[in-house]
Structure 1
Amino acid sequence: MEERFGVVTFAGKPVTLLGPEIKVGDQAPDFTVVDNNLNPLSLKDFTGVKLISVVPSLDTPVCDAQTRRFNEEAAKLNATVLTISVDLPFAQKRWCGAAGIDKVITLSDYQNMSFGSAYGTYIKELRLEARAVFVVNSKNEVTYVEYVKEITDHPDYEKAIEAIKAAE
């Protein structure tokens, strides 16, 4: 598997991402993750425009804010919003209930890091996902990519939202 060292940092320290760098124009790779009821899902289970928001853990302030922001935006967009982390599905379900998240679909990559390996967000040293945002159109072409350089920083919400609107 491809290793990319120093592409992103975690708390200022370079980390290694496993998997390829996804670029605009690429065909979105398939993956298998599980939903909050442990049902396996893959890219083909979602139609139309998709915003894929990738976070290390929902129980951290930036990940919490990122997921809440995209949940608010989801109501205004013609897109499916997925949040992928390595949090256990039970924790994701509990967090969504407590946070009032009802428009974002939370998915877990904890079983085999299928998403992280396919999208190049798997942090080798931590077995977590790197913070990233992908927009995928209805033909499953990637139309927007942001690998957040410092994992503790926020993504560019406005650019991601613009990309969703352009992909609709």
Structure 2
Amino acid sequence: MPQVQTDVMGKRKKRDLNNASKKEKAMQIYSKDFLSYGKEYKITFGHQNFTLGRGKLAIGKKLPDTKGLMTPSLTAPYFIRGKRKLILTVPSIDTPVCESQIKELSGSVDEYYDITGREVYVVSVDTPYAQARFIKDNNINERINFISAFADDNFLYASGLCVLELNVFARSAIECDERDIVTNVYITKDITHIPLIAHM
């Protein structure tokens, strides 16, 4: 398929994702209906089916290389050593579901940290500038660490969380221990649903 046609189709699908998210805004849905990571690769978006890529991320293994990722301050991301982590991947902060999810997290992240001791990260394919603007405009809690995969898609594909037809992250939650070993991966079967996990 010609690249121009592929790009147009991708833009249309991303526009559909945003439109569907607007419909979900009034009824934010939390879900425990998760994929079996590493065994299931189909997710839904309304009545449409999409496919996850197959990556290197695996429970019991160390996080894939994060080289190439960027913070809103245009620095390499720093995963705090010796701390357990919760890494949330979202399709785009420009969609209402993601916006609502992160705003709600901003109000509860201090309590979540007090209970779990986990540092919280949000990863998306948005530009670092878009993330910085979102943080400022919405007064997002500084305890949430934002990471952009816009400039380098290595982690997007290595994580196995890439929605291939859209080239964005699926909505997921990754739990890691103090050594960055993955202990749990939660991926909602519907990309517009938010993972419901303990203490969140």
The Cα RMSD (Å) is 2.3
Offset, 1:96: 1.0
TM-score (norm 2): 0.70
Which stretches of structure 1, 4 residues or longer, exceed 6 Å deviation after superposition? Answer: none
Amino acid at match of 1:7: K
The superposition leaves residues 102-159 of structure 1 with CA deviations (integer Å, 9 ceiling, x where unpaired) of: 2211111011212211211112111111111001110212122111111011111xx2
Match of 2:74 in 1: 38
Residue 195 of structure 2 corresponds to residue 155 of structure 1: yes
Cα separation, 1, equivalents of 2:73 and 2:110:
23
Residue 119 of structure 2 corresponds to residue 80 of structure 1: yes
State which structure, 1 or 2, has the greater radius of gyration over its C-alpha atoms: 2
Offset, 1:91: 0.7
Secondary structure of 1:20's counterpart equals coil
Query: Once the two structures are aligned, what percentage of the paired residues are identical?
Result: 29
Hey, which of these two has a bigger chunk of strand by percent?
1
Q: Counterparts of 1:127-142 in structure 2 under 5 Å? A: 127-142=167-182
Match of 1:13 in 2: 48
Q: Tell me the matched-pair count.
A: 156
- Cα distance change, pair 6–24 in 1 and its aligned pair in 2 (3 A): closer
Q: Counterparts of 1:1-168 in structure 2 under 5 Å? A: 6-20=41-55, 22-32=57-67, 33-41=69-77, 45-47=79-81, 48-76=83-111, 77=113, 78-102=117-141, 103-156=143-196, 159-161=197-199
Amino acid at match of 2:75: N
Cα separation, 2, equivalents of 1:99 and 1:129:
22
